[in-house]
Amino acid sequence: MKIDRRALLAGGLAAGVGACVPVRSDVPGRFASRLRIVEATANGTLGVAIYDTGSGALTSYNGFARFPHCSSFKLSLAAFVLKLGTDGGMDLSEKVDWDAAALLGHSPFTRERLATGATIRELAEAAQKQSDNTATNILLERIGGPQGMTAFWRAIGDPTSRLDRYELELNNVPAGEIMDTTSADAMALTVGRLTHGDVLAEDDAATLRQWMVDTATGLDRVRAGLPPEWRAGDKTGTSLWPGMRSVYVDIGFVEPPDRAPLTFAAYYRANRQHLKADPASLAVLADVGRVITQFARTA
């Protein structure tokens, strides 16, 4: 029998479902119970965390488990570049050139700008908004490689997230591997520090948030389950690397009315390998967005 996940999530969970998954009266318990249903219906592995920037509370489901960053680390990379520009460690107006041999798959901005080059700031924006892989590797070289990215996370209080390789190899992360991984708990907190904390100057944080809002790759993931009138932004990641079971990622922020902003990190590893982005797997993250909506209205 096909299960309608939206019907399960609506109306506070049906009694029959609740008999299978105990629903606690506290908000974290209800949050976890709803996500267990999403995970069970999807037949994969889910990790989700929400950070309340007002209270400092972190609520999660399977939040400790490691998942690949895929392209989602580019949000932190863009933030690091913005910070270096403001702190004087990098000239964001510097013009950078590259040749055709440097172009990687999915590099729409750097392919279009091959003849003219781009500034470092433009490359950071392209890495975030278009997930441009060539722009990403150029920037990684400028900040000390994957080790520089990891050092940035450690410096801002993230002991878990790590980057070990460049694009595209960083997407090859079989289950159980720790290279190029993070956890939902760690990344929800990191996104909070970057978007609504004191890591970045306010102008840079505002720029980063706007780049996230303008990022269209996540419109069919968590943001698809949020009320359209709520301001939200994100960065996605996807790995369809052969032999490792496909992974879908979405990290970001949401600003519900009449409460402090929330940041989120959602990771889903399917139990099968996909040759292209799987609509059903994207719908899993949209269901996470619906759970986040319920959380924001009740927590």
Catalytic residue positions, numbered? 71
Which of 160, 91, 171 lies closest to 124 in space, CA to CA? 91
275: Cα within 13 Å, side-chain hemisphere: 0
3-state secondary structure of 186: helix
Chain position carrying tokens 């029998």: 1
d(CA 219, CA 233): 9
Are 291 and 34 spatial neighbours (Cβ–Cβ below 8 Å)? Answer: yes
d(CA 160, CA 296): 26
Are 253 and 261 spatial neighbours (Cβ–Cβ below 8 Å)? Answer: yes
* 8-13: long-range contacts, CB 8 A cutoff, minimum separation 24: 8/37, 8/41, 9/34, 9/37, 9/38, 9/287, 9/290, 9/291, 9/294, 13/37
Are 250 and 226 spatial neighbours (Cβ–Cβ below 8 Å)? Answer: no
DSSP for 116-141, please give it. T-EEHHHHHHHHHHS--HHHHHHHHH
Are 251 and 72 spatial neighbours (Cβ–Cβ below 8 Å)? Answer: yes
The structure tokens listed for 29 are 């318990």
Are 36 and 254 spatial neighbours (Cβ–Cβ below 8 Å)? Answer: no
